[in-house]
Structure 1
Amino acid sequence: MKEPQTMSNTLKRTLGLTTLIAIGVGQVIGQGAFVSLLQGVGISGTGFLIAMLIAFALTLGHAFTFSELSLMMPKAGGISTYTEVAAGHLPAIVVTIGGYLSLAVFAGAADLFLLDFVFSFLYPSSIPQIGLWIYLIIVFLNILGVDVFASVQNLVAYTMLIALLIIGFKGVSSSETQDIPFANLFTNLDSINWNILSLTMFAMWAFLGIEFMCPMIEETIQPEKNVPKAMFITLFILLLIYGLVALAGYHKVPGKELVDSQIPHWLLVKSIFGESGRFIMAFIVITAAGSSFSTGIASISRMLYGMSKNNQLPGIFGVVHPKFKTPWFGIFFQCGLAVSVYLAFQNSQNVVILLMISAAALWLLVYIMAHVDLIILRKKYPKLSRPYRSPLFPVFQIMGIIAMIYLIINNSPSPEMTKGVYLNAALFVGVTALYAVLWIKYRMKKPYFKGEPIEKVL
């Protein structure tokens, strides 16, 4: 039986435009994105910059779709709510748990390993498992309420942006004799071909995740105005920041060194600031990890909260702390799983990386589902009032579906890893689907693929 909606069990509406931007930026600016970005520019400077523009255009389509969906159904469940109405409970549960929760768990563990690795390289005598301590601090701050989360997220994300702007501008404006001339970018234009699409997956990591602000919509002030604006501002900020960092990496570090390094962002920082840049590098990895951790914890816990309110998860996920107004169980649940994976695979970190890439393939499935949801809902509810409408519908949606299918097929970084990625992705979907089938049949007692009336959801 669903728990009645009371003032003591609802979220607190307090987030403004600046915090939404910090959420969008904070989820995307992480160490994994830096590594992918700089290795991509190391493979082909010219090709990668074009791939970044393609990725930006695709993500612009995501922003159009999620803006319309989130304002049609301003609920914390995010993609689970949209899909519940468009296609039914089974795909809603599978796409949310498989696409977001699995990624949070395995990407969270992988980010912890990367944070430990970078610190052990920079400061061999540093605190053991420093990533875990930073993660636990972020978890604690998320529990303390959305006001605390907003303050921390604003501080970390905007400090990170300033640091990256400094690195980008300083790297791009460098005139040292060993720097690689920017003129070389234009000498290979005639060799650009369809292989550029293989670089798009590297570039996509510079933009994926801006939709993490949507599950925070029940805590957002004037969402009909702030959500679309925050998405588009975030996208252009990311294009500027990552464009500068990519150009700085191209200008300052030989491509082969970027490709061969596990921490190419350190090569860039060292090329600009020398060995004295260790502190700057440490600052970057802490703020990047902290921002990414905080956004993921906050957003996904709200997805689980919304799923509970839709009766797709046990009621405990829908309970908020009586004082702090945060979905505390969802926070502890996802973070407990990530920490468990981190501790269990201390000596098998490559396994976690493989699982993270497998989960990332399902993350792309979320975008496909979002575009499909919007197409279905436009046909199903043509006269419904929409505070925001995606322009040029359905051009961006069809392009997004085709592109995401291509990227899922080409998600693996090596042919040897492809089989493992597909097997793991199939396992994630299979386990989630089994839970969904049993839960819907015996607890919800609902059809698997029949969309709920939007009036009921609202």
Structure 2
Amino acid sequence: MANLFAVKHISTLKSEAGEEGEHTLRRSLGPVNLITLGVGAVIGAGIFVLTGQAAALHAGPAIALSFILAGITCAFAGLCYAEFASLIPIAGSAYTYGYATLGELVAWIIGWCLCLEYAFGAATVASGWSGYFLSLLEQLGLTPSASLAPFTTTYGNVLYLYHGRWLPFMSLPMGVTDVSGLPHVTGVFNLIAFVVIGVVTVVLVRGIKESANLNSAIVFVKVGVVFIFLFLGIGFLLQHPDLARMNWHPFIPPKIGPGQFGISGIAAGAASVFFAYIGFDAVSTAAQEAKNPQRDMPIGILGSLVICTILYIAVSLTLTGLVSYKALNVAEPVAIGIDATGVKWGGLLVKIGAVFGLGTVMLVMLLGQSRVFYSMSRDGLLPKWAGAIHPKFRTPWISNIIVGTIVAFLPALLPIDKLSAMVNMGTLLAFAIVSAGVWILRVRHPEMERPFKTPLVPLVPICGIVSALYLIANLPTLTWIVVGIWLVVGLVIYFSYSTKHSKVQKLEARATAKQ
């Protein structure tokens, strides 16, 4: 049983980080690539989808405070990630850091949770992407026919044709209650979401440099769209200050139930929008592909986190100022916000930005997931195919293809609310373990040279642990159930396969036999 908590020595990790050749990942990413990688993962569903839903259901205009609370939690964890990423520049993120400090079983659990985070996170975003893409087509006058519409949404979801747009009942205008006279179809398979995951998978197999450059270009486009929204929205509010005062009052609506408005609503809102921050930690999974990881990884992780937090707060305040939070529980809250300014081309622009923005989130999520598989395979905890590197493209291509295929079916068959409920706990658990790992490593190996040092240890790691556990406590029951089932499946794989093939356990067994 002691071998279950065997640690992977830092010297071994540093040796792996220095390996070169066609069997290793190519080091081709600079600090700008890493920052845009983080921004590409973070700026997406949070701004374009979750902001409105969390405001309407949990926090009201105080959703800005929810983003601050979630951002503070990420900042504590981000500082710890930055120290580990500069110290151990290995693909694998929190999995690798847990292996080096808390042992193999803990590393397996966190690696398995990261697979849930990235895979289901990409599927969730693909579902949202298909909605925005369909809306964009319809705004351009390309409404699917009744025979094609069932292949634009998940199985069993009913769409109604209203003013040239296929909409679910919850997205119809509030005054529309009688739908008996509206043409409608029942979803069969979300082909749009399936195809976009396939395209992203092909890009990732082709190469990390190409993926990162494409991501960087799209990030500049979608951040530009966000700034245009802020420019138009803030300008409109400055001209109509009474509208903002009306929509922001009361800033913290009175509590009407557990996790709905009041102070508890802010915490529940933070737990809800935490999905919006998932992705900055994906920067650390690219550590083995950074040109100068000791310098560039902290810049990439912390730089992307700061930029995204500022944008989230600004967008949430502007959005709830333009539109009452009560009307924001829709799939396209930012489009509704910009429509309130009267700028006719604004809605079209936002949808274009969302299509680009959500596309890069999928790219980084699937990149991170395959790199975790790569690291677990190299340690013997997963089969060799998960770590196989393409001789030309130098990417974990088999892992990319298999994971991409599985993920493509998830948003094609499951609705977005079921997918998003499965993601947040894995991330928060990873944050808690990484924070604890920094503290443990400082105690065990205080002499190690650290290119980046987390300040105020152990205060910052303790705050990271406590804040992550606090947000976990505010997650819905369904999340606990799904993650529990996922962990049981993972532990079955671990004890039936991984313990027999673990390289670290084999080394421990040989060392014990010599004594």
Report if TM-score (shorter chain) is over 0.5: yes
Gaps of 5+ in 1: 413-417, 454-458
1:157 maps onto 2:219 in alignment? yes
Choose 41-50 or 298-307, whichever is displaced more.
41-50
1:323 maps onto 2:385 in alignment? no
1:51 maps onto 2:66 in alignment? yes
Q: Which residue of 1 aligns with 2:178?
A: none
What amino acid is the match of 2:438? L
Choose 270-279 or 331-340, whichever is displaced more.
270-279
Equivalent of 1:9 in 9, 17, 23: 23
1:232 maps onto 2:232 in alignment? no
Q: Which residue of 2 aligns with 1:288?
A: 357
> Contact 1:65 / 1:374 at 8 angstroms: preserved in 2?
yes
1:423 maps onto 2:487 in alignment? no
Once the two structures are superposed, residues 251-276 of structure 1 have per-residue CA deviations (whole angstroms, 9 ceiling, x without a partner) of: 21111001x32332221232235554
Equivalent of 2:461 in 381, 397, 418: 397
> Contact 2:52 / 2:330 at 8 angstroms: preserved in 1?
no
What amino acid is the match of 1:166? I
Distance in 2 between the 1:62 and 1:6 partners?
30
Using a 3 Å threshold, how does the CA distance of structure 1 residues 134 and 440 change in structure 2: closer, same or farther? Answer: closer
Choose 128-137 or 368-377, whichever is displaced more.
128-137
Report the 3-state secondary structure (helix = DSSP H, G, I; strand = E; otherwise coil) of the residue aligned with 2:22. helix
Distance in 2 between the 1:116 and 1:303 partners?
27
Distance in 2 between the 1:180 and 1:446 partners?
62
Distance in 1 between the 2:407 and 2:44 partners?
17
What amino acid is the match of 1:316? W
**How far has the Cα of 1:300 moved from its partner?**
1.9
**1 or 2, which has the higher helix percentage?**
1
Distance in 1 between the 2:228 and 2:291 partners?
32
What amino acid is the match of 1:302? R
Q: Which residue of 2 aligns with 1:105?
A: 119
> Contact 2:279 / 2:365 at 8 angstroms: preserved in 1?
no
Report the 3-state secondary structure (helix = DSSP H, G, I; strand = E; otherwise coil) of the residue aligned with 1:433. helix
Q: Which residue of 1 aligns with 2:435?
A: 371
1:220 maps onto 2:290 in alignment? yes
What amino acid is the match of 2:487? V
Equivalent of 2:105 in 77, 84, 90: 90
Using a 3 Å threshold, how does the CA distance of structure 1 residues 113 and 200 change in structure 2: closer, same or farther? Answer: closer
Once the two structures are superposed, residues 161-202 of structure 1 have per-residue CA deviations (whole angstroms, 9 ceiling, x without a partner) of: 111011012111214659622587586579874653233224
Using a 3 Å threshold, how does the CA distance of structure 1 residues 249 and 277 change in structure 2: closer, same or farther? Answer: same
Distance in 1 between the 2:500 and 2:253 partners?
61
> Contact 1:72 / 1:387 at 8 angstroms: preserved in 2?
yes
Report the 3-state secondary structure (helix = DSSP H, G, I; strand = E; otherwise coil) of the residue aligned with 2:401. helix
Distance in 2 between the 1:118 and 1:342 partners?
14
> Contact 1:33 / 1:205 at 8 angstroms: preserved in 2?
no
Q: Which residue of 2 aligns with 1:23?
A: 37
What amino acid is the match of 1:442? K
TM-score (norm 1): 0.87
**How far has the Cα of 1:67 moved from its partner?**
0.7
Distance in 2 between the 1:292 and 1:253 partners?
26
TM-score (norm 2): 0.78
> Contact 1:90 / 1:440 at 8 angstroms: preserved in 2?
no
Choose 317-326 or 131-140, whichever is displaced more.
131-140
What amino acid is the match of 2:334? H
Alignment of 1:6-405 (within 5 A): 7-42=21-56, 44=59, 47-97=62-112, 99-124=113-138, 125-126=143-144, 128=152, 129-175=191-237, 177=240, 180-182=243-245, 185=248, 188=251, 193=263, 195-258=265-328, 260-272=329-341, 274-343=343-412, 345=413, 348-349=414-415, 353-405=417-469
Equivalent of 1:409 in 463, 469, 473: 473
Larger radius of gyration: 2
Using a 3 Å threshold, how does the CA distance of structure 1 residues 109 and 193 change in structure 2: closer, same or farther? Answer: closer
> Contact 1:145 / 1:325 at 8 angstroms: preserved in 2?
yes
**How far has the Cα of 1:323 moved from its partner?**
1.0
> Contact 2:60 / 2:251 at 8 angstroms: preserved in 1?
no
Using a 3 Å threshold, how does the CA distance of structure 1 residues 103 and 47 change in structure 2: closer, same or farther? Answer: same
Identical aligned residues as a percent: 22
Using a 3 Å threshold, how does the CA distance of structure 1 residues 120 and 358 change in structure 2: closer, same or farther? Answer: same
Choose 276-285 or 396-405, whichever is displaced more.
276-285
Once the two structures are superposed, residues 141-174 of structure 1 have per-residue CA deviations (whole angstroms, 9 ceiling, x without a partner) of: 1111122112101011111111101101211121
Using a 3 Å threshold, how does the CA distance of structure 1 residues 46 and 266 change in structure 2: closer, same or farther? Answer: closer
> Contact 2:275 / 2:424 at 8 angstroms: preserved in 1?
no
Using a 3 Å threshold, how does the CA distance of structure 1 residues 181 and 359 change in structure 2: closer, same or farther? Answer: closer
What amino acid is the match of 1:29? I
Distance in 2 between the 1:340 and 1:250 partners?
35
Q: Which residue of 2 aligns with 1:443?
A: 501
> Contact 2:44 / 2:276 at 8 angstroms: preserved in 1?
no
What amino acid is the match of 2:469? I
**How far has the Cα of 1:375 moved from its partner?**
1.8
**How far has the Cα of 1:382 moved from its partner?**
1.6
> Contact 1:440 / 1:446 at 8 angstroms: preserved in 2?
no
Once the two structures are superposed, residues 66-93 of structure 1 have per-residue CA deviations (whole angstroms, 9 ceiling, x without a partner) of: 0111122111122221111212212212
Report the 3-state secondary structure (helix = DSSP H, G, I; strand = E; otherwise coil) of the residue aligned with 1:136. helix
Gaps of 5+ in 2: 1-15, 153-190, 255-261
Distance in 2 between the 1:300 and 1:188 partners?
38
Using a 3 Å threshold, how does the CA distance of structure 1 residues 300 and 236 change in structure 2: closer, same or farther? Answer: same
